[in-house]
Amino acid sequence: MPYSVTPVGFVRSCFKEKFAIPRQPQLAPAARGVLELVAPFDKGAAVAGLERVSHVWLLFLFHQALEDKPRLKVRPPRLGGNASIGVFASRATHRPNGIGQSVVRLDRVEPGRLWLSGIDLLDGTPVLDIKPYVPYADSLAEARNEIAEAAPVPIPVQWSAEALGQARQHALRLDEPLVELIEQCLAQDPRPAYQVPDAERRYGVLFWDVQVRWHYPQPGLIRVLEVVRE
């Protein structure tokens, strides 16, 4: 029997494209956004008491990765993009119903708006539900996951003097921790794991309204070249 769902709100995020979004929440604490609630949930009554909560679960739709044909196996980036496992053993975006979940920090609560950080959500993401994080129930000391036992080891990020100056200027204009956001996201190495390293290749991504460009001058090192307004 089919079911229909209606978003309770939409995320206005620092991430304007899928490339370079951290593969899990909390890996980039400087990644911030606002969840704008829609009627009837845009009233203060819907978020009453949420100011006593530090983190929330967001259930959302991978709205740019919805698929008509279900996948039984996927190739998660954590395994290098080549090894395949069952879809239910992975958090890959290719979900049977396109549903994702993330734990994010709740920085501020306003009627109709939740200010968030540590997000991994694309701008415009439809949110289906919000639930408070409950530490004693949601954090299990005995839990294990042999596929992803620890966070990926970050790789060093260097800056050209020009790029760092540009990033600091844009950070002041945006009133956002832009330097930290760039470093935290790039340190996760957004490049596809199967891609052959090429020191000459330039990469780019849009954070807020600035285009960040970088390259890999040597394996295991990123150098930010330019941070310019789009």
pLDDT tens-digit series, residues 33-42: 999 999 999 9
pLDDT confidence of residue 70 = 83
Single-letter code of the amino acid located at 227? V
Give the residue, 186 or 197, on which the prediction is more confident.
186
- CB count, 10 Å around CB of 114? 23
Where, residue-wise, is CATH 2.40.30.70 in the chain? 9-138
Architecture of 157-229 per CATH? 2-Layer Sandwich (3.30)
Integer-rounded Cα Rg, in Å, for the chain is: 19
Q: How confident is the model at residue 82 (pLDDT cuts 50, 70, 90)?
A: confident
Q: How confident is the model at residue 78 (pLDDT cuts 50, 70, 90)?
A: low
Averaged pLDDT, 75-90: 80
pLDDT confidence of residue 222 = 96
Kindly tell me the sign of the dihedral angle through the C-alpha atoms of 186, 154, 198, 160: positive
Q: Please say if the pLDDT value at position 49 is more than 70.
A: yes
Where, residue-wise, is CATH 3.30.2310 in the chain? 157-229
Q: Please say if the pLDDT value at position 172 is more than 70.
A: yes
Q: Please say if the pLDDT value at position 1 is more than 90.
A: no
Q: Please say if the pLDDT value at position 194 is more than 90.
A: no
Single-letter code of the amino acid located at 104? V
Averaged pLDDT, 85-106: 92
Q: What is the 3-state secondary structure (H, E, C) of the chain?
A: CCCCCCCCEEEEECECCCCCCCCCCCCCCCCEEEEEECCCCCCHHHHCCHHHCCEEEEEEECCCCCCCCCCCEECCHHHCCCCCEEHHHCCCCCCCCCEEEEEEEEEEEECCEEEEECCCCECCCEEEEEEECCHHHHCCCCCCCCCCCCCCCCCCEEECHHHHHHHHHHHHHHCCCHHHHHHHHHCCCCCCCCCCCCCCCCEEEEECCEEEEEEEEECCEEEEEEEEEC
Q: How confident is the model at residue 81 (pLDDT cuts 50, 70, 90)?
A: low
pLDDT confidence of residue 80 = 65
Give the residue, 74 or 81, on which the prediction is more confident.
74
Averaged pLDDT, 167-190: 97
Phi-psi region of 107 (alpha: psi -120 to 50; beta: other; left: phi over 0): alpha
Q: Please say if the pLDDT value at position 195 is more than 80.
A: no
pLDDT confidence of residue 94 = 86
**Average of per-residue pLDDT values in the chain:** 93
> Full-prediction pTM beyond 0.85?
yes
- Identify any residues that bridge with 34 across adjacent strands, giving them in sequence order: 12, 115
What fold is seen in the domain 9-138? Answer: Elongation Factor Tu (Ef-tu); domain 3 (2.40.30)
